[in-house]
Copies of this chain bind each other. A is one copy, B any other.
Amino acid sequence: MSEPIISTVDIVLLIIQEDRLCVTLSNRDKEPYENQDALPGGYIHAQADRDCLDAAVRILQQKTGLLPPYLEQLKTFAGAARDPRGWSISVVYFALVDADLILSATNPGLTICPVDALRRLPFDHNEIIAAAVDRIRNKSQYSSLPCYLAGETFSLPRLQKIYEACLGETLNKVSFRRKMDELGVLETVAGQTESTGAHRPAQLYRLKSEFKNQLKLLVRGL
Give the residue of B6, B52, B142 whose beta carbon is less than 8 angstroms from that of A2. B6
A17 at the interface (CB under 8 A from B): no
The quantity of this chain's copies bound in the complex is 2
Residues on B with C-beta less than 8 A from A89 are 7, 44, 52, 89, 91
Closest to A140 in B: B222
A 173-222 contacts with B by CB, 8 A: 175-176, 179, 219-222
Q: Which of A20-28, A59-67, A77-85, A94-102 contacts B (4 or more CB under 8 A)?
A: A77-85
Tell me the bound Cα distance from A176 to B221 in angstroms: 10
Task: State in angstroms the CA–CA spacing of A49 and B79 once bound together.
Answer: 8
- Minimal beta-carbon separation of A108 from chain B (angstroms): 26
Q: Give 10 new A-B contacts, CB below 8 A, not counting A2-B4, A175-B221.
A: A3-B43, A3-B46, A49-B80, A51-B78, A51-B79, A51-B80, A76-B76, A141-B219, A171-B222, A179-B222
